[in-house]
A and B are shown apart, each in its own frame.
Chain A
């Protein structure tokens, strides 16, 4: 990933971005010496148009990546350009505004742009690191398989618990309730790291204690039952680990995409205001 996205086509877009930034800065130094920089001057408007076109090109990635039959460059090339052009907009817009910011809707548009770019940088870092880890994890078992396996264990637990003392039923119902009530945990597992080994060890201790309290005839069946519970716990921890990585790949988009749309809305208001007045 690192070798392809950032250095695509011989670092074509990297150099393009660097040259563009240098050219913009040089032109700005000349411009600032000849007049007071602001968005309303000829130079300021030129920077504004460049910024607007850059934003439209950046937004086009969303269309291009769903446009499977497009021959308009490769998706990898578009993504590489997206990265460098996105970084360049952080410079273009201040040049457009003459580095004037305030508590207004115009600055809001820029703040949203900064949020979009920063979240994009986070996304880039995630895409450069997480897939490698995820591939290692998924070589074991995919989430769907783990879910099927856990459901299978539940069925076996249910069958095993039938006609057994209350502790079996209780433990089954407890496990079932826990899994049933487990909903919308995507964000929680993303930010709350849990130690699967510690959970497993704690669970083992609990079950061992409960085993000791049982009469001898039930102990053999309980050992088997406890094995299933521990197995389920282990598989679920593995599933959580995988889902955390998968969610990490997606989470930044929950900022990047809505902030992009909001930024377009703010840019729309900015354009309306400057054209009206």
Chain B
């Protein structure tokens, strides 16, 4: 019988219930749990708080907590051999223990605390032998340490932060709207040229529209001209302006588009039954871009698109005779002696340097190919570009003038004469006709000739009356009036030299001037015939333009979408500066014929 537990429980004023329990085991378990020998009901007591064991005729107290939450005589202990008497404090409980003799059991006495009384008065021992003071009438201060170390404060909690954050979002949005900073509400920064209207959303947008409705074309066309892109050949309507030129995407220039824009249609192009074949599936310059193609127009045939890789089908049908090889021959005889011509001797770029301007007789040919016709008339040349009838009149007037100058004194003495109708022609008329005939033979060659003659050296003559003599011969043998013989003059066939071989693409010669001309036009030095097409093939371009790592290969590097040759000005233009900035631009006021394609 090592333990005796005496429990005192107040039953009311002055009444007290005392219960004594004797325990026979060698261990006394103390804790809040009901499985303990000494059950102390308070939340500050652990389920298994401590235990007292009988060891070698003594008693040892062990605290079972991580921290020592048990005190013996007000000193926290983890493990201690109990003295003969003293107090054990566990939470609000004070257990008084005594053991008068080593053989007597350990007697533990404590009071059961009511719910409202949790703090036992200090024992005499706890007060160092002093008598207990009368209970203070002032309530002891309670320190709210758990509350002090909690996150949530009175004003700082999740709700207040959330309210504040929402206020910042809404308030900030309202503020920037009030300040006119509408850019904040845009899904991306506006392009450079539209930035002037960045805060005027209604300039382009209609409010409360269905979500999928974009900016209509007529809005764009109120300021921009956007000629259609082969809309007559497309099976489906041309895409809206905003389909390709997507605003509010941080793009500075809306015209700078990626290949994906073109591939929206050209990856699987839907076209009407094409008169001219067109490649309907192109994905990139490197992968499946077809060979360059030119339009070939033959007499009596429809215009054909012919790829540069189609051999004999590739023909330059221009009505001109040109031998590149001959012109590039070393020591070619020029007006001042032998000289070496180069490509640039005849082919000059336009002022922008992008394209070669058309070869011009006066600038590029006349120096060598002069249209003079009589050594007695130095400096006199037929004007290039005249019709042959005009040239004939020019020659006749020139020789008449020459004759007058040569026979000035004789004709003055003779006085004015007039040939009567039916009278034979005067000898001076016969002389002039002869001179003109010789000059025209020099220029146009004899009838039927295709090479002898300064004109036919390059041009092709259409001689409609060739079977019944041409003008220069016919008139010399008859009295037919000039007006009646007008139709007998041959005509120079229109040369029809293409100014742009590839009109659906753009090219910049200046950007390529680091290369020799023959680097790309490699067949030029060997070409003897006009019909040779000397364009570089796509393989030639791919030498430098390739991916990855090469020069640019984007669609827009070479192609343009809008057919600028058909550009028109929108109906409302031009504006005054005030109208332009403040917006007389009424998207809906655009004429109907400018509506979207």
> Which residues does A use to contact B, with CB under 8 Å?
32-36, 38-40, 42, 45, 97-98, 100, 102-106, 108, 139-141, 143-152, 154-156, 158-160, 162-163, 176, 179-180, 182-187, 189-190, 220-221, 224, 227-228, 231, 234-236, 238-240, 243, 246-247, 250-251, 253-254, 257-259, 261-262, 265-266, 269, 273-277
Contact present for A156 and B74 (CB under 8 Å): yes
B-side contacts of A139, CB under 8 Å: 66
Could you tell me the distance in whole angstroms from the C-beta of B71 to the nearest C-beta in chain A? 8
Considering the complex, give the chain B residue whose CB is closest to the CB of A264: B166
Which single member of B46, B122, B130, B261 contacts A156 (CB below 8 Å)?
B122
Could you tell me the distance in whole angstroms from the C-beta of B290 to the nearest C-beta in chain A? 20
Which single member of B69, B128, B189 contacts A160 (CB below 8 Å)?
B128
Complex Cα distance A215/B415, Å?
166
10 A-B pairs besides A141-B67, A156-B126, A262-B166 with CB distance below 8 A are A32-B260, A35-B260, A35-B264, A36-B244, A36-B260, A100-B188, A105-B185, A179-B145, A243-B150, A246-B150
Considering the complex, give the chain B residue whose CB is closest to the CB of A238: B67
Is B515 close to A, CB under 8 A? no
Contact present for A258 and B43 (CB under 8 Å): no
Contact present for A187 and B188 (CB under 8 Å): no
Complex Cα distance A98/B118, Å?
67
B-side contacts of A235, CB under 8 Å: 67
Contact present for B161 and A254 (CB under 8 Å): yes
Is B276 close to A, CB under 8 A? no
Contact present for B67 and A140 (CB under 8 Å): yes
A-side contacts of B140, CB under 8 Å: 151, 154-155, 158
The 15 sampled A-B contact pairs (Cβ below 8 Å) are: A36-B261, A38-B187, A40-B212, A103-B183, A108-B169, A145-B43, A149-B44, A150-B143, A151-B142, A155-B140, A184-B153, A231-B76, A261-B162, A274-B187, A275-B211
A-side contacts of B260, CB under 8 Å: 32-33, 35-36
Interface flags, B165-203, vs A, CB<8A=1, else 0: 110111001000000000111111100000000000100
Could you tell me the distance in whole angstroms from the C-beta of B176 to the nearest C-beta in chain A? 8
Given contacts A185-B149, A234-B67, contact A102 B166 (CB under 8 A): no
Interface contacts (Cβ under 8 Å), in number, total 204
Contact present for B246 and A38 (CB under 8 Å): yes
Residues of B in contact with A, size category: 35 or more
Complex Cα distance A156/B130, Å?
13
Which single member of B151, B170, B264 contacts A254 (CB below 8 Å)?
B151
Given contacts A32-B260, A227-B75, contact A186 B128 (CB under 8 A): no
B-side contacts of A36, CB under 8 Å: 244, 246, 249, 258, 260-261, 264
B-side contacts of A103, CB under 8 Å: 183-184, 189
Complex Cα distance A274/B170, Å?
16
Is B81 close to A, CB under 8 A? no
Interface flags, B109-148, vs A, CB<8A=1, else 0: 0000000001100100011101001000000111111101
Given contacts A34-B264, A102-B188, A104-B183, contact A261 B166 (CB under 8 A): yes
Is B207 close to A, CB under 8 A? yes
Considering the complex, give the chain A residue whose CB is closest to the CB of B151: A186
Complex Cα distance A276/B207, Å?
5
Could you tell me the distance in whole angstroms from the C-beta of B281 to the nearest C-beta in chain A? 13
Contact present for A224 and B151 (CB under 8 Å): no
B-side contacts of A246, CB under 8 Å: 150
Complex Cα distance A100/B142, Å?
58
Could you tell me the distance in whole angstroms from the C-beta of B416 to the nearest C-beta in chain A? 86
Interface flags, B201-239, vs A, CB<8A=1, else 0: 100010110011010000000000000000000000000
